Structure 1
Amino acid sequence: MLDKRVVDLRLDQLENVKAKNGKEHFEKQYTMGKLLGSGGFGSVFSGHRISDGQQVAIKQISRDRILQWAKLPCEANAVPMEIALLLSLGSGTGSVPGHHGIIRMLDWFEITGQGFLMVFEKPQYCQDLFDFITERGPLEEPVAQRILKQVLEALQFCHSKGIVHRDIKDENILVDTRTGDIKIIDFGSGAALKDSIYTDFEGTRVYSPPEWILHQRYNAQPLTVWSLGVLLFDMVCGDIPFEHDCEIIRAVPSFTKRISKECQSLITWCLSYSPEDRPSLEQILEHPWMMESSEDFGDLQAESNIKPSL
């Protein structure tokens, strides 16, 4: 379990960012609707912006559920790490350019007695990748390749900004079913990127690597690459490769569907037992399987109702 520590991110580009305190400020700008989902992180509600009617998603987090805090320049009080990370990735009204593959936080508020409210864009015609796979079954390899390439490019952007997500999984990737464009969501387990060892982890256990299961230690890039191997297996086989700790430690995926040797090769490389044997993000992008052209996404739109997710 993480201690409730405060990290000084020293993000110079955020020097003019300040909280919009008070429930009255929030209620003048947004209307909160029905509950979309809840979990250990808090609760997510639908909503809209009063000024123009734009649909939004609103994430509510109680102060007692926040395990990591960050100190921003020109802010007297610490803020949840997730807010600081999203601001540094180009969310909010700051001048930091964002990335189309990362969900955008439009606003955030500190509410006395309630914690924090984070207002996100709510893309239309999107569903999370978990539901996308559940409805369609295993994805064709060109579709999986198209999605993985976008995830990799978004993660490269995160790393370039000094941020590691630490919870890459199908539920944290939104897919636009019309275009195939993706957005990575939920930076609640994220952290500042560093070269040294991490000894804390609040991500999803079945996506975590052997070194965490055995020793509660890992480095950022090998952790990320392992989770990408799990994700790719999930996309092309229809389910994750490992359910139990003993399976993760063995690090030998059993391919349940017929997939190409090139795809198997990439999955196996990402799921190497030893962290030093796994590829870098750049090496994944240069893998022969990733160099194949991906198919058009237009005919994959679900016929069923699609619920946006955050």
Structure 2
Amino acid sequence: MMNDDDNSSGFFDAEIEQPEPSVAFGHIEEFYVSPNGYTRLFRANRYGKNLILKTLKPENREMPFYQQALQKEFAIGYQLTHPHICSTIGLEDVPGIGTCIVQEYIDGITLAQYMQQGKLNKRTARKIITELCDALKYLHSKQIIHRDLKPDNIMITHNGDNVKLIDFSLADSDDSTVLKIPAGTRRYTAPEAQEKGYTPTLLADIYSLGIIIGEMGETLKNKRLLQVASKCTSRLPECRLNSTTAVMQALTHTSILRILMVAAFFACCLIAAGAYFYLRQPSVTGPDIYPTYGNIPENNACRELIRQKVAEQKGASLTEVDSLNLMQGIEALLQETFPTASMQATPVYRNQIAYWSREVSKLMKISVD
């Protein structure tokens, strides 16, 4: 009979190796202290790589509320892997600083600074909105709401103008049970998200996104961006665009429609121009001009001219002078049908000349009854 030890999981008489202590951070330098928040940021280096250390201010370090907030931010950020979201690498105690969230270092500036420096244009605005929507779509698919979307929390890299969404200190998720209280930056926070008892939804992020798009539209004086912003920022959540996919469709739909309208305009211009030039050309249709299945239809006037010449010769062969005169007469008749130089340069005209030249040359060799 088996005892409980036989059915229990565990290690078999192995010596458990203690993990080696992590390599200490080097070149630690404080570069930002939140004026109204509870955190501060350090730039550091490890394994030849720049990193960011995010920790509590000294006055908040021993307060359970803020300790919980830092732990929650780490728990949410650590599960996110996306090219347009700042990576969370770990949570470590750093001597002299305290518990720190270790984050990816981003070489860039905030969207607010990017716009203040006049770098925003129509192309970069579309790129930034597209990448921001992509990041939010990923975030929302994990039932996570950022809750503090604003230009100061969107980094734009120096290399490539790529979006990096940062600062999940106020983010919330469906599975989180702590700090379920209203939070955000009032200018960018949806009206309903500022009320007590509010249950966070992704539509609050859509509202914040709309404010950001509106600021871009105002900077660029772009009516379409302002229209999309208006659809995102209705005070009634049910009247907003309901996802980042809908936001992108609202932007893309107009772009495609504009392209189709421009293409249709140019197509109409080409058709009109073609019709104009076609109607101005003399008519060159008829069986006397166009070959049928490779045969050259005869010009009745040219054939009648040859008959008259043959009758004058009374069965005698034509001389070279007679042939030259006859050919000049045929060319004159053909030029009535092909009056312009461009028409006389066509294969149809040249084929007619070649055909009648052969017919005339026959009269120089044999008699024609």
Number of aligned residue pairs: 227
- Kindly tell me: are residues 63 and 190 of structure 1, through their superposed partners in 2, closer, same or farther at Cα, counting changes over 3 Å? farther
Q: Does the Cα contact within 8 Å between 2:137 and 2:244 map onto a contact in 1?
A: yes
Aligned position for 1:241? none
Which protein has the bigger strand share? Answer: 1
Q: Which structure: greater helix fraction?
A: 2
User: Normalising by the residue count of structure 1, what TM-score does the alignment of the two structures yield?
Assistant: 0.65
Q: Could you tell me how far 1:170 is from its partner in structure 2?
A: 0.6
- Which has the larger displacement, 167-176 or 56-65? 56-65
Whether 1:69 and 2:68 are equivalent positions in the alignment is: yes
Q: Distance in 2 between matches of 1:69 and 1:215?
A: 20
Identify if the C-alpha distance between structure 1 residues 213 and 160 changes in structure 2 by more than 3 Å, giving closer, same or farther.
closer
Hey, what's the Cα distance between the residues in 2 that align with 1:192 and 1:224?
13
Equivalent residues in 2 for 1:124-135, closer than 5 Å:
124=107, 126-135=108-117
Identity of aligned residues (%): 23
RMSD (Å), alpha carbons: 2.8
Is the 1:145–1:290 contact (alpha carbons within 8 Å) kept by the matching residues of 2? no
Question: 5+ residue gaps in structure 2?
Answer: 1-19, 257-369
Spell out, residue by residue over 1:200-226, the C-alpha distance to the aligned partner (whole angstroms, 9 max, x if none): 222111111222346663542221011
Given that 1:193 and 1:220 are in contact with CA atoms closer than 8 Å, whether structure 2 keeps it comes out as no
Aligned to 1:162: 143
TM-score, normalised relative to structure 2 = 0.55
CA contact (8 A) 1:149 1:290 kept: no
Indicate the residue corresponding to 1:148 in structure 2: 129
Aligned to 1:229: 210
More deviation, 199-208/104-113: 104-113
Q: 1:131 to 1:231 in 2, by over 3 A?
A: same
Q: Which residue of 1 aligns with 2:42?
A: 45
Aligned pair in 2 of structure 1 residues 57, 147: CA closer, same or farther (>3 Å)? same
Which amino acid is the alignment partner of residue 281 of structure 1? T
Q: How does 1:1-310 map to 2 (within 5 A)?
A: 25=21, 28-39=23-34, 40-49=37-46, 51=47, 53-61=48-56, 62-64=61-63, 66-67=65-66, 69=68, 80-89=71-80, 98-110=81-93, 115-124=98-107, 126-136=108-118, 139-193=120-174, 200-213=181-194, 217=198, 219-238=200-219, 258-260=221-223, 262-279=224-241, 280-289=243-252, 292=255
- Following the alignment from structure 2 to structure 1, what is the Cα–Cα distance between the partners of residues 182 and 206? 15
Aligned to 1:188, the other structure's residue is in SS state coil
Matched with 2:344 is none
SS in 2 for 1:136: coil
Structure with higher Rg: it is 2
Name structure 1 gaps, 5 residues minimum: 1-23, 71-78, 90-97, 239-256, 294-310
Residues 269 and 285 from structure 1, CA distance in 2 versus in 1: closer, same or farther, beyond 3 angstroms?
same
